[in-house]
Structure 1
Amino acid sequence: MKKLKKLGIFCLVVSVSVAMLVGCSKSKDKLKETSKLDDDYVMQISYGTGLCAAPLQMAVEKGFLKEEGIKYELLKSDKSSVDLMMSGKSDTFLEMLPAMIQQIDNGLDARIAMGVHTGCLKLLTKPDSPINGVKDLKGKKIGVPGLASSQTIIAQRALLAAGIGVSPENMEVEFVVYNQPELPLALKNGQVDAIGMSDPSASLVVNSGDAKIILDNGVDKEYKNEYCCVLVLRPDFVKEHPEIAKKYVRAMKKAGEYVQNNPEEVAQIQIDKKLVALGDPTFNSGILKTYNFVPSVVKGKESLIKNFNDLQKIKFISQDLDVDKVVDKIYVEFDGIDD
């Protein structure tokens, strides 16, 4: 009987050991499979022109993506980056944070990994206007490129902070939609009292003498430390290729820091490579210097939460939305990448 017991115990130990070896073998095979998938994977990156896209542009031009061993293709399309991501054609893009909020509230599944830079949104009025600040906009008409645009959202948040009603039940301003190129003319002709624009167009209008600034989120004490542009990733890309996603975020962090430390060179490259259609290297580098291009994981998350909370206050998004739960789902933080 004792011999049988010992034999039984021996068999059990052997069985467990074999199972562990098989499990380890399968685990190693899975790692090899994932590694092979990563080796073959070619990232699809939505790539566009514009001053604010400097970090992504420099990630390409200065070789930060290749330095991380990332294989990639640049997507240049008339379709929106969000549409490309939803159709599985794009793995990543840069987007203004305010514009993402309503889309996420409406069910968009996306991952945000980092704040990319501050600044780039402005509210303008005529040079001789009695309007000298956001507090003077009560009862006025504000021209914007879209009712859900980042320009509109920063205006609404600033109006809320100034005690001016912007909720559906208490709207104390009127937003009027124009194409962005038409906004300066609408202001000049008196069709609106103020306009919301992004750079470099906004700064060019001011530099021409046709407008003055009443809000600049790059220098305003309420918003200057808030990240207005974020790094967006396709959820399935993060799930299926987490190591590539991590390398990409790290490359973008290096690229942003490069822009911060070399604004003159970056502005020159943007003009030479036709990555920016407006301005000149000297003027554009001056704008770049007003932003903070040092990417931040922590402040990117803080900016996301702040935008959600403000937009709930003005009833721009659902009042039932659990902000903490949503942020926990969409904000992805990679080990080893911090501020």
Structure 2
Amino acid sequence: MMARIMLDRRRFMASASAAGAVGMIGGPGFADEGPPETMTIRLAYYSNICLAPTLIAGELLRAEGFKDIQYVRVPESFTVPELVARGEVHFASTFAGTLAHHLDNGLPITALAGIHAGCYELFAHEPIRTISDLRGRSVAIQELNSDGHFYLAIMAAHVGLDPQRDFTWVTGPDLNPLKLFADRKVDAFLAFPPEPQELRALKVGRVIISTVQDKPWSQYLCCALYGGRDFVQNHPIATKRYLRALLKAADYCAAEPRLVAQQLADKGMSRLDYALQTLIDIQYRSWREYDPEDTMRFYALRLHEAGMIKSKPEWIIAEGTDWRFLEEIKRELKA
């Protein structure tokens, strides 16, 4: 299903001006690149606060020369990178560790940049205080080989646990992991916005790891922007223009969280208070400061140590990343 989801033009232009967002629309020298090789761009979309930069980037993408911006409604699942690899969707965003897994399996995709740092929070019931206390316990996730599965597996491997043996993974397409945790039918749950806000409102469980605040997780990017390898290679100008629009949109989320939260709430994607808290907490400017290659190396190494991927981080980075567009954009925007 196609949906057009974008920030109202008048509100965007007015608020961008109010925020002092000089150069947010257009910029010197951008025309020198030439127009994008295609005027049509297809972006993976599902209702998720974390994807706010993608969901509000419409006017920025238009300013970059795209005339036909298609938001493709996709399931929030492990299949999205496969859609990107097949060209059904041009670009998407997912956890960097998930990209490492897909690259290890030979999927022809290319990581382009990180978009923000942590957003997940690991909740547990008493008496569990640390992730090491989860040995022999049950953990709820939506599905195996999902972002949450890989992130929690990496957390486990980081403290010496075997994520394939030391947890009981409770999963299934018809299960509601949050409800299972709230009903105390499982011991832990890795929550993704707005789930942390919902659990706090219910006063259920306690946070034992916040990737927003706790090291080392807060020191690395979480979600990464990526495209199909063939599309990136054959459409370098379009790729750079897409990436520039998304990174500017991330800056806008950091500068105007209330306006963005209101837009997401108006679209029915979240309660206003949940959206606002998420946008305030997530470090949307971290793409300027954090090194995406360090991020890929860290997550790929943890997955390799846990036996969940066969490839070494050096191969993942060499075969599945291209930071040239990001570095050019950083220089242009004087990051």
TM-score bucket (shorter structure): 0.7 to 0.9
1:214 aligns to what?
208
Is contact 1:264–1:282 with CA below 8 Å preserved after alignment?
A: no
Q: Summarize the Cα distance change of 1:89–1:183 in structure 2 as closer, same or farther, 3 Å threshold.
A: closer
Q: Residue 324 of structure 1 aligns to which amino acid in structure 2?
A: E
Match of 2:298 among 293, 306, 322: 306
Q: 1:87–1:155: structure 2 CA closer, same or farther, 3 Å change rule?
A: closer
Q: 1:48 aligns with which of 46, 57, 71?
A: 46
Which residue does the alignment assign to 2:316? Answer: 326
Q: Aligned to 1:287, which of 271, 278, 283?
A: 278
- Write out aligned runs for 1:1-339 (5 A): 38=36, 41-60=39-58, 63-78=59-74, 80-126=79-125, 129-166=126-163, 168=164, 171-179=165-173, 182-274=176-268, 276=269, 278=270, 280-294=271-285, 296=287, 299-318=291-310, 321-332=311-322, 333-334=324-325, 336-338=328-330, 339=335
CA-CA distance at 1:292 after TM superposition: 0.7
Q: Is the alpha carbon distance of 1:273 and 1:173 closer, same or farther for their aligned partners in structure 2, counting shifts above 3 Å?
A: closer
Query: In 2, distance between residues paired with 1:99 and 1:122?
Result: 17
Deviation at 1:247, TM superposition (A): 1.2
Deviation at 1:162, TM superposition (A): 2.6
For 1:230 and 1:124, locate their aligned partners in 2 and report how far apart those are by CA, in whole Å.
Answer: 24
**Superposition TM-score, scaled by structure 1 size:** 0.79
Shift of residue 54, structure 1, vs aligned partner? 0.5
Structure 2 contact 300–316 (Cα < 8 Å) conserved: no
1:31 aligns to what? none
Please give the secondary structure, in 1, of the residue aligned with 2:219.
coil
Q: Following TM superposition, where does structure 1 have runs of at least 4 consecutive aligned residues deviating by more than 6 angstroms?
A: none
Aligned CA distance change for structure 1 residues 270 and 175 (closer, same or farther; 3 Å)? same
Please report the RMSD computed on the Cα atoms of aligned residues, expressed in angstroms: 2.3
Tell me the distance in 1 between the aligned counterparts of 2:108 and 2:313: 15
Distance 1:322 1:209, change over 3 A: closer
Amino acid aligned to 2:40: V
Give the distance between the partners of 1:40 and 1:184, measured in 2 at CA: 41
After superposition, what is the alpha-carbon deviation per residue over 1:227-279, rounded to whole angstroms, capped at 9, x for unaligned? 111111121222222111111111111110010111111100111123x1x3x
2:116, 2:284 within 8 Å by CA — same for their partners in 1?
A: yes
2: CA distance, partners of 1:109 / 1:184: 33
The 3 A distance-change label for structure 1 pair 94 and 181 is same
Q: Secondary structure of 1:165's match? A: coil
How much identity, in percent, do the aligned residues show? 21
- Contact between 1:47 and 1:76, CA under 8 Å: does it hold in 2? yes
Deviation at 1:73, TM superposition (A): 2.5
CA contact (8 A) 1:144 1:176 kept: yes
1:88 deviates by 1.9
1:98-125 Cα deviation digits (max 9, x unpaired): 2222221111110111101112212112
**Residue 39 of structure 1: how far off its partner (Å):** 5.7
After superposition, the Cα gap between the structure-2 partners of 1:39 and 1:215, relative to the gap in structure 1 and judged at 3 Å, is: closer
In structure 1, how many angstroms separate the alpha carbons of the residues matched to 2:39 and 2:119? 34
Contact residue 72 and residue 89 of structure 2 kept, 8 A: no
Correspondence for 2:30: none
Q: Structure 1 residues 159 and 325 mapped into 2: Cα distance closer, same or farther (>3 Å)?
A: closer
**Does structure 1 conserve the Cα–Cα contact (< 8 Å) formed by 2:111 and 2:225?**
yes
Q: In 1, Cα distance between the equivalents of 2:280 and 2:34?
A: 40
CA distance in 2: counterparts of 1:263 and 1:232, whole angstroms? 24
Preserved CA contact (<8 Å) 1:99 1:149: yes
Contact 1:143–1:178, Cα closer than 8 Å, also in 2: no
Q: Where does the alignment leave 5 or more consecutive residues of structure 2 unmatched?
A: 1-32
Q: 1:83 to 1:101 in 2, by over 3 A?
A: same
Q: 1:181 Cα shift?
A: 6.3
Q: TM-score, normalized by length of structure 2?
A: 0.80
